[in-house]
Structure 1
Amino acid sequence: MTEGELIEIANSSMLVMMKVAAPPLFAGLVIGLAVSLFQALTQIQEATLTFVPKVLAVFVALLIFLPFILHTLMDFMHLVLDRAISGG
């Protein structure tokens, strides 16, 4: 394998990582923003009020996007294995 091919695989791995991590992170971001807005409007400052909805949102996002995540990871693994078998 040449340096260019290794850099291309590293670049692809970073893109796959962002694709896989984006749905649960975005769900946590949206729920966290909504809870923060709710807390600011009602002046309720409870720590569990911020933690529990985020955990539930991330869990639900993982359940919903699990087929997409698995498909993305399998496609990337096939790409890497094909390159390793073909010698570059």
Structure 2
Amino acid sequence: MTESETLALAGQQALWTCLMLGGPPLLLLLIVGLAVAVVQALTQIQEASLAFVPKMAVLGLALMFGGSMALGLMRSFTEGLFEQVVSVGGLR
């Protein structure tokens, strides 16, 4: 594999890792934000903290329960990246 192919593969893996790390929490925040917006529209209560607090609670729970998965994903990406660097540069 050439250096440019290795670099392209590393970039693709980096984007995929970002999507896997950021996607689930952002999807949860989108759902909670939509639910809060519907409740605010129905009750006509326009309080900023009403929209902020549930999102932060859900984000905290998502990070608490998904943190180990995220750490494992980042670790495997980093190990793969280091292996690619060694394969391109070689040990001298």
TM range (shorter): over 0.9
Task: Tell me which residue corresponds to 1:32.
Answer: 33
Deviation at 1:15, TM superposition (A): 0.3
Q: Residue 36 of structure 1 contacts residue 50 of structure 1 at CA under 8 Å; is this kept in 2? A: yes
1:84 to 2:85 alignment: yes
Residue 36 of structure 2: SS of its match in structure 1? helix
What is the aligned partner in structure 2 of residue 19 from structure 1? Answer: 20
Tell me, yes or no, if the aligned pair for 1:20 and 1:69 is still in contact at 8 Å.
yes
Q: Which protein shows a greater Rg?
A: 2
Deviations 1:42-76 (A, max 9, x none): 11111110011111111111111111101110110
CA distance in 2, matches of 1:29, 1:63: 18
Write out per-residue CA displacement over residues 6-26 of structure 1, whole angstroms, 9 at most, x where no aligned residue: 011001100000100112111
Query: Residue 73 of structure 2 corresponds to which residue in structure 1?
Result: 72
- Equivalenced residue count is 88
User: TM-score scaled to structure 2, two decimals?
Assistant: 0.89
Distance 2:55 2:70 in 1: 20
Off by >6 Å, runs of 4+ in structure 1: none
Specify the code of the residue in structure 2 equivalent to 1:59: G
Residue 86 of structure 1, CA deviation: 2.6
**Identity score, percent:** 33
